[in-house]
Amino acid sequence: MPPHVSGVSLSEGLDPSELSNFFEKFESGIGVWTESETEAVWLPAKVVSQKAALLTVVDDTTGARVEIDRGFAEVHPQNPKVVADMTALFHINEPGILHNLRVRSDLRDQRPYTFMGTLLICVNPLQVVPDPPMETYVGQQLDPEAPHPYAIAELAYHQMKLGTGGLTNQSVVVSGESGAGKTETSKIIIKYLAHRTQGGVGGLDNRVIESSPILESFGNAKTLRNANSSRFGKFLKLQFTADTAALAGGFMETYLLEKSRVLSQAQNERNFHILYELVAGADPALKKRLGLGSAKDYHILFQSGCTTLEGVDDAEQFRGVVHAFNTVGLTAEVQEQVWRMLAAVLHTACMKFAAEETAEGEVATVPQKDQEEEAAEASAAANCGAPCDVRTARVDMRDEGQGELIAELLGVTADDVSKLLTTRTMTTHGETFVKRNGLPEAAYARDAAAKALYESVFLWVVKTVSDSLGRGAEHLPFIGVLDIFGFENFARNEMEQLLINFTNESLQDIFNKQVFINEIHLYEQEGIEVAVSSCPDNSECIKLLSSKPNGIITLLDAVCREPAPTDEGYTRQLHAKHARDQHFPAVHKKFMKDAFMVRHYAGRVQYTVDGWITRNNDRIPEAFQDVLAKSSLEAVQGAAKVLSAAAPAPGHARVKSGTFGGGAHARTKSSLGSKPTVARGFMDSMTKLQAVLEKTTCSFVRCIKPNADMKLGVFNNKYVVDQLQCLGILQTCEVLKVGLPTRVTYTELKDVLKNHAAAAEKLFEGEPEMALISAMLWAFDVPSDAFKLGKTRVFFKAGQIALLEGLLKNASAEKGDWIMDRLRQALADRQAAKAEAEEVDRLLKEAEDLYRTGLIDAGMAKKAASAVSCGPTPESQELSQSQELSQTLKRVRKSVTPDQVEALIEASRVDNLGQYAPDAKAKFDVAAEDTLAKARAAKDAADALEAALGGVGGDLGDTLVDQLGDAVTAMQRARTALVAAARAAWDAADKCLAQLAKERAAEACAYAATVTASAATVRTACTAANGAADAQRAALAAATAAAPTAVDLADVAGKAWTEFREVARQAQLDEDDAAMDARAKAAREQREREAAAAAAAAAFSAAAADELPPPAIGRRSSDHKLSMIESHKDFNASQNIRFLAGAGSARARRQSTMGDLLDMEQKAEEEAKDEIGELVVR
């Protein structure tokens, strides 16, 4: 394929992805998923409209109309249908996958299995779901519409037979959290593989199938999360013959049995199933021989308050185990020996010790029958955990005491049992001596012996079952089925949870490598284009847990080697060494002494360090294996050997202490065994397992738990989506959508030609190697869409492996001539198809030039259109200038206006300014005329600035952006389609498909025409945008030129306005003062006139008194005059009052017009100054 097809590199203009994001739209009416803070996580909605990043939807659930800013919230399109293979989803996203699984899990049509390419997802149905007939999968290619564990098993079987990619061995990794259904899924796969082959070892298939119930009973238990939780890991390898792929044998390996469960369980959990099944299912005679009671008679079975499982009959399960033992070849005698060892575990764990005073102090003894009741009371405080009921220790023990009964059950002597638990051998300074145990030491030895005894039984049963499968030669190909404990996060997490979660981290790492990293790397190497999101990587967390010397697990071993190791010291070192690690989050201060936290791939887990030093050392009485080895019972002897073989050679994990569990340091070697630590043994096992898995081709089954409470019919979205995220299922979809899981090298395919290989290579001389390979596939009618050609191998899509089988079977030597004829025809078709592809290549080159130019034009047009638009585009310098000028206009508008000046002039008229102070009025008029002229000039300048700014921005810019977006989108789609057509044309040429290449060429012509037309539209929009931008720049220049004048005139007018108001205030004061002076003068003159009149009247009265009395009429006239004088006095007083009142009223009247107006203007000016200040700051 020509190099230019892979893409266009642009040095200028807009990046295509940027344009796509800028113009991406959701069509109105389509269904989408919107984020929710509720348990639903995602809610369905319908799109109403979209404007830029603002999306308006209607919630399907509530009917509410919601606006979503896509810059801050995720929105994903819905898929049109639910599918059986999620690589076929139109839209691969979290809500789409979640919805698909939810619908398929609905009880009305429950389909718990769903494909993702060759990856199987199993949502635990929480009920029995009938399996389809196995025959429908045997020999069939992978059907995307029929997901089931049978299909994964068949795929692994096919790949093992073919040896694709040079590998033969296969592994099926079943993973998920506890309760997700891993064990049941593994059983289905094993059952299918056991029945898949014909011939092989007789009865082996039944033995393989019957191994499951045995291992479940001995290794599974009820936890809070799962009623049948695997408390160990199991890797079952089924071997097949190299020629016929018939089942030839098998063997199994186990990892990390949770031995601590033997002694203690959390509330409402159970011990291992087999202990309850034994006490419930053993017949009376057997129970009597074993000295057994009921489950409630044993503290280790009843301490959690749970002895039964809902819907499970322990007695029936016991009979199933007996049947399975019979199938794998255990005789009734050997089976009873197994029951005896289990009974010994129950009796040992409940044993009480008597106290005896000796010269060494108080020591422990194993009591006889008549001492048991007294011993129970005396040693209750010393025994670990809550003691068994006194009655419990005496149930059906016949005439023996506890020690004698345990010894009889194990086929050893009572003295051996007593010495094992109550004494220890000490070596110091080269001298060896026996020391008696006190009650605490004896209790510790008893608990260690009980756990070790159960572990030895478990390991012996596993080995016996494994041996029954008949392990074949090492070179035989195998299919391994790994069923291992799921990720755990409880309210209290101990050392076992840490090791379990480390296992899951390791498995996740293998999953990442095989499904993501290796796949993508191989695609890149082979030149196959795959677009995927970033792959998850948990290697840093694995490093935190296991790196040397300071990894969390390895550091535990290092602390155990210290002279006086303590849990607190270990925790303190963890916090000191890893405080800054991003996968080591801080815990609350109150938990710092005994807890730490790890951020796993599946979430954060807080671990409580309590007794880890003791647990890790896992020390058992040194004579334990020797005592069991001396047993008269075959199974007990075998258990001792298996336990000894399971522990690697003793190394650095030795605690030099005379006390139990790694306490205070002493130069003494204890008789407690110094076998390697639990952590070291576990890490060694995990290293080996990881090495095996990395050398096989892995198929993966991801199991999902639908809800935390295991309730039938409940699918909790939030609970499930957390699992989807931590299992990496979203990224898996992106990789597997390509669907190329089967690969065959070119060399392997050319071997099909046999004797004709040389002639075929000569025929294709001058052609690339893939030409011959594609011609071969064409010759055998392999569909072109079933494979992709890499540089060195062919990649077949999921489910197409049967086509490859057909090619290999049909390429016989007898068909050599026919093959050569077909190759010649294929070569001719290749040449014709190549010519068509070259024509498409020419069209593509021309379109690429147009596309590149169009993108550059679009980039410039977008900037120009954005400058025209009023929308927020901070990168636009023109918009920045426009905004600055707009702020300037606001400042100018805040200056004085002619209306303000005229209002003050009108107020002076209302107040009759100048009536008393004409000089003040004259000054006022001069200032008014000057200010009004300047205000009018400032207004005209502001109007001119506003008019210039009116040419900047507007709807035209938005319209151009929309037009440009449509044109660019059309051009992009056409270009993308053209590139796809070019690739398809070359792919058709590579695959010798002349007709298909011709069809792709015709399509390419149409797409090229669309690119040309769209590029022209972009050019037109660019021209319009540039024209609008030029007009805007001109308007901006005019506004920029007008702004200084407007500012200057506004400042001048503002200054004049300030001065004019001062003149107005002074004129008002002058007018008031003049008015008061005038009225005071008038009052004085009036009083003088009245005084003169009064004097004249007085003189007249005196003259009249000297004369004769006047006539009556004259008297009346005189009286009248006197009355008038008095009246004038009264008038004089009232006039003075009215004058003063009138003067006050006039001043008040002027204050209510000019004064109030001036005060209002003063206040407005102060507010304007504040606002202008803010504008300047902005």
Closest CA to 743 of 784, 674, 684, 789: 789
Distance CA 1074, CA 1072 (A): 6
Per residue in 613-632, is it b (16+ CB within 10 Å) or e — as a string?
bbbbbbbbbbbbbebbbbbe
Q: Which of 715, 736, 757 is the last residue of a domain?
A: 736
Measured CA to CA, the distance from residue 794 to residue 774 in angstroms comes to 9
Which tokens in the block code for residue 294?
């009921």
Give the span between the Cα atoms of 943 and 958, in whole angstroms.
26
Residue 284 lies in a domain: no
Is 423 known as a binding-site position? no
- pLDDT at position 741, please? 66
pLDDT of 401 reads 77
In a domain, 1042, yes or no: yes
Half-sphere exposure at residue 71, Cβ-oriented, CA atoms within 13 angstroms: 5
**pLDDT at 12 > cutoff 60:** no
pLDDT of residue 1177: 47
Alpha carbons 999 and 296: distance in angstroms, whole number: 79
- What does the pLDDT read at residue 1128? 47
Neighbours of 1174 (CB within 10 A): 10
User: Do 923 and 1060 belong to one domain?
Assistant: yes
pLDDT, average across residues 894-898:
86
Say if CB 623 and CB 630 are below 8 A apart.
no
Give per-residue pLDDT as tens, 164-214.
Answer: 445 589 999 998 888 899 989 999 999 999 888 765 555 777 888 888 899
Instruction: For residue range 746-777, list pLDDT tens digits in order.
Output: 887 787 777 778 888 888 888 888 888 888 88
- Beta carbons within 8 Å of 569's beta carbon, 6+ residues apart: 559, 562
State the amino acid at position 319 in one-letter form.
Answer: R
Q: What is the CATH number of the domain that holds 185?
A: 3.40.850.10
CB atoms within 10 A of CB 475: 8
| Gyration radius from the chain CA atoms | 50
260 belongs to an annotated ligand binding site: no
The structure tokens listed for 603 are 């979430």
CA distance linking residue 497 with residue 831, whole number of Å: 63
Cα–Cα distance for residue pair 541/602, rounded to 1 Å:
11
For the chain, how long is the longest CA-to-CA vector? 184
CA distances from 731 to 455, 724, 734, 744, 843 (A): 40, 10, 5, 25, 36
Q: Are residues 1021 and 1134 in the same domain?
A: yes
> Is the domain of 1036 the same as that of 1095?
yes
> Strand (E) positions, 92-154?
113-116, 119-123
Same domain, 943 and 1031: yes
Residue 179 marked ligand-binding: yes
Are 1033 and 1144 part of one and the same domain? yes
DSSP codes joined into one string, 148-213? -HHHHHHHHHHHHHHTGGG---EEEEEE-STTSSHHHHHHHHHHHHHHH-SSSSTTHHHHHHHHHH
Q: What is the pLDDT of residues 969-990, one digit of tens each?
A: 877 788 788 788 787 787 777 7
Q: Please say which residue of 711, 736, 761 terminates a domain.
A: 736
Residue 266 placed within a domain: no
Q: Is 180 annotated as a binding residue?
A: yes
What domain range includes position 155? 86-255+486-503+700-736
Q: Is residue 105 part of a domain?
A: yes
* Burial call 892-921: b when 16+ CB within 10 Å, e when fewer: bbbbbbbebbeebbebbeebebbebbeebb
d(CA 806, CA 788): 18
Instruction: Determine, yes or no, domain membership for 1034.
Output: yes
Is residue 318 in some structural domain? no
CATH of the domain at 819: 1.20.5.4820
Q: What is the pLDDT of residue 819?
A: 80
911 and 828 within one domain: no
Which has more pLDDT, 224 or 1175? 224
As to burial, measured by CB atoms within 10 angstroms (0-12 exposed, 13-18 middle, 19+ buried), residue 332 is exposed
345-354, 988-997, 1152-1161: range with lowest mean pLDDT: 1152-1161
Co-location of 169 and 244 in the same domain:
yes
Looking at 834, 865, 894, the residue that finishes a domain is 834
List Cα–Cα distances, 535 to 512, 728, 737, in angstroms. 7, 8, 15
Instruction: Name residues whose C-beta falls within 8 Å of residue 1032's C-beta, 6 or more positions apart in sequence.
Output: 867, 868, 878, 951, 952, 953
Which of 12-26, 69-83, 689-703 shows the lowest mean pLDDT across its residues? 12-26
Residue 609 has pLDDT above 90, yes or no: yes
Mean pLDDT of 402-420: 92
Q: What is the pLDDT of residue 482?
A: 93
CA distance 193 to 248: 12
Statement to judge: residues 1093 and 955 lie in one domain:
yes
Cα three-residue angle 59-60-64, rounded to 5 degrees: 35
Q: Annotation-wise, does 359 bind a ligand?
A: no
Residue 1000 has pLDDT above 90, yes or no: no
**pLDDT of res. 798:** 64
The average confidence (pLDDT) of the chain is 80
Q: What is the pLDDT of residues 672-729, one digit of tens each?
A: 555 678 888 888 888 889 899 988 989 999 999 999 889 999 999 999 998 887 677 8
Q: Are 804 and 941 members of one domain?
A: no
More confident residue, 345 or 1154: 345
Instruction: Please check if 644 is assigned to a binding site.
Output: no
Handedness of CA 595, 598, 599, 605 (dihedral sign): negative
Q: Are 718 and 777 in contact (CB under 8 A)?
A: no
Residue 365 forms part of a structural domain: no
**Residue 177, annotated as binding a ligand:** yes
Nearest to 206 by CA among 44, 326, 106: 326
- Asked if residue 216 belongs to a known ligand binding site, the reply is no
Tell me the backbone φ, ψ of residue 704, rounded to 5 degrees. Answer: -125, 135
Q: Which helix (H) or strand (E) holds 490?
A: none
Nearest to 122 by CA among 189, 190, 45: 189
pLDDT at 332: 95
Q: Which residues, in sequence order, are bridge partners of residue 46?
A: 31, 58
For residue 65, what are its two tokens? 């109309």
> Phi and psi dihedrals of 35, rounded to 5?
-65, 145
Domains held by the chain: number: 3
Count of C-beta atoms within a 10 Å radius of residue 365:
21
User: Are residue 794 and residue 887 in the same domain, yes or no?
Assistant: no
CA distance 1163 to 1167: 6
pLDDT at 3: 39
Does residue 191 form part of some domain? yes
The per-residue pLDDT for range 785-803, each reduced to its tens digit, is 788 888 888 888 766 666 6
Backbone angles phi, psi at 438, to 5 degrees: -80, 180
> Are both 950 and 1079 inside the same structural domain?
yes
Q: How confident is the model at residue 638 (pLDDT cuts 50, 70, 90)?
A: very high
Of the CA atoms within 13 Å of residue 896, those in its CB half-sphere come to 31
Over range 1149-1165, report the average pLDDT: 66
Q: Which of 248-257, 321-330, 377-386 has the lowest mean pLDDT?
A: 377-386
Give pLDDT tens digits for 835-862.
887 888 887 787 778 777 777 777 766 6
Asked whether the predicted pLDDT for residue 154 surpasses 50, the reply is: yes
Residue-level pLDDT at 400: 53
Question: CA-to-CA distance for 154 and 309, rounded, in angstroms?
Answer: 34
Shared domain for 823 and 889, answered yes or no, is no
Rounded Cα–Cα distance for residues 659 and 685 (Å): 29
* Top-confidence residue, 927 or 279: 279
Query: What percentage of the chain carries pLDDT values higher than 70?
Result: 80
For the cut 80, the answer to whether the pLDDT of residue 944 exceeds it is yes
- 1060-1075 pLDDT per residue, tens: 889 988 988 988 888 8
Least confident of 418-427, 470-479, 899-908, 1098-1107: 1098-1107
